[in-house]
Every structure is written in C-alpha cells, then in structure tokens.
Amino acid sequence: MIRMTNVSKVYNTGSIKFEALREVNIEIKEREFCAVVGPSGSGKSTLMNIIGCLDDCTTGEYFLRGTSVANMTQNQLADVRNQTIGFVFQSFNLLPYATAEENVEVPLLFAGKSRKLRLERCRHLLERVGLADKMKNRPTEMSGGEMQRVAIARSLANDPPLILADEPTGNLDTRTGGAIVDLFNELHDEGRTIIMITHDPNIAAKLPRQIYMQDGALVDKLRIAS
Ligand SMILES: Nc1ncnc2c1ncn2[C@@H]1O[C@H](COP(=O)(O)OP(=O)(O)OP(=O)(O)O)[C@@H](O)[C@H]1O
Ligand SMILES: [Mg+2]
C-alpha cells in the first residue's frame, strides 16, 4: 500500500530550515492497522500529511499502491485524496453550519455522485456509525464522540481502502475514545488499511503494529515514553 524510501521533509520558515523528517524508510502493507507514536514535534503529522498526499516530501520517494506520488498530476492527486484515502482529524474538521448528513455528503459531491445515491449513502453511513437519529444535527448540536463519528462516516463516503487518522481520540474521554477505536477495528476487519496517530500508549499497545518516531526519524523503540 505504502512504500517510502529515504523520505525527508524540510520546512522553510523565513531563513530557518527545519528538518521535520529524516530519511524515513517504511513499508505498510494492504490491510495493516498501525499506530504512529512519538513525542510532540517528532514528525507524526508531517509523515501523515505526506502519506495522505496533502504535502510533498523534500527528498526521497513515496509510492502509493505502486505509483510514485511525485509523478502524479494535480488531478490525479485530487482523485487519490477523494477515492483512495479517508481522513479523520483530532478536531473533527466538520463544516460548522452543515448538518451531519451534509458533512458526510461533501466527498460524494466532489466525486460527482447523483443526489439519490448521495442521500442513500449518507443515511447508510450515519446509521453505520450509530447516528441514524442525528442526521439533521449540526456540529454544535452534537457531542465530541458524535462529531468524530460524523467525521468517520465522511471519511468512508467513497469507500476508500486507506484511512488516515491523526489523533482521532485526542479530544475525547477514554470511554468515548474507546468506542471510536472499536469502530476503526471494525473498518480494519472489513479489509481497510488504517494508520492512526495516537498519544495514548494503551491504545497503541492494542493495535497490531506500532511505528515509533523520534526527532523526525523512525526508531525501534522510544528512548523516553511520550
Ligand atoms: N508548516 C510548517 N512549517 C514549519 N515547521 C513546521 C510546519 N509543520 C510542522 N513543523 C515543525 O515540524 C516538526 C514536526 O511537526 P509535526 O506536526 O509533524 O509533529 P507531531 O509529531 O505531529 O506533533 P504533535 O504530537 O504535537 O501533533 C515540529 O517541530 C513543527 O514545529
Ligand atoms: Mg501532530
């Protein structure tokens, strides 16, 4: 699914260069479920943004399902982000004035699906995440756990094989976060590849694979617990 060779990322802020990723080599196979763990600033989100084709690497090569991302056109990248990858973020990133249903509909609109299909799909996905009775609620009318369920339903809109989640339980209490992890486990059982950044060592320990990051590099084990 994912192969990176010697991927580095340098951010330029004014005249200051900062190397956020250093020579990352990684392979993640289809149907893996990985936790990405590491201290704040270690490069987890930077890595995730590159995996998600939201940002590019400075040097090195990244292959997504065998295709070099650097060689993709803007249109191809937009298609990949819409069809191949589902995104879930810590702060949910929902449209504040749109209902749950309208939020889930967004990727379907971009994909050019008919209104009938969009509405069927939104209803199905919101039922699936346990929000059948909240379809018309706006984010301000939902709990954090419910908002994250809407975000997960949205990430599934176009049935992507890969789900990227950046601290999806970071704003939730332990019990609500646990329910969100259960949902990711179900999505994994269905055959999806899932990469999840988490600060929670208890959550990370329960996942099949852990990827540890420190100072922009992948390490076998963390020197200091985060
Ligand atoms: N757009 C940017 N411009 C300049 N520096 C950046 C930018 N984005 C991130 N950085 C720097 O790169 C480093 C890695 O950031 P990143 O967001 O990947 O860390 P992280 O591991 O996700 O941390 P956290 O756990 O706090 O979310 C940090 O030192 C950060 O300040
Ligand atoms: Mg981060």
In sequence order, which residues have a C-beta less than 8 Å from that of residue 117 and are 6 or more positions away? 108
Q: Which residue CA neighbors atom 2 of ligand 1 most closely? A: 11
3-state secondary structure (DSSP) of residue 193:
strand
| Residue 200 Cα to ligand 2 middle (Å) | 13
Amino acid at 61: E
Q: How does residue 221 score in pLDDT terms, banded at 50, 70 and 90? A: confident
pLDDT in tens, 45-92: 999 999 999 999 999 999 999 999 999 999 999 999 999 999 999 999
Tokens 């479920």, located at residue? 33
Q: How does residue 223 score in pLDDT terms, banded at 50, 70 and 90? A: low
| Residue 45 Cα to ligand 2 middle (Å) | 4
Ligand number nearest CA of 55 is 1
pLDDT in tens, 96-150: 999 999 999 999 999 999 999 999 999 999 999 999 999 999 999 999 999 999 9
Is the domain 31-53+74-219 a CATH 3.40.1280.10 member?
Answer: no
Predicted TM-score (pTM) of the model is 0.94
In sequence order, which residues have a C-beta less than 8 Å from that of residue 108 and are 6 or more positions away? 117, 118, 121, 122, 157, 158
Ligand number nearest CA of 19 is 1
| Residue 40 Cα to ligand 2 middle (Å) | 7
| 48 touches 164 (CB < 8 A) | yes
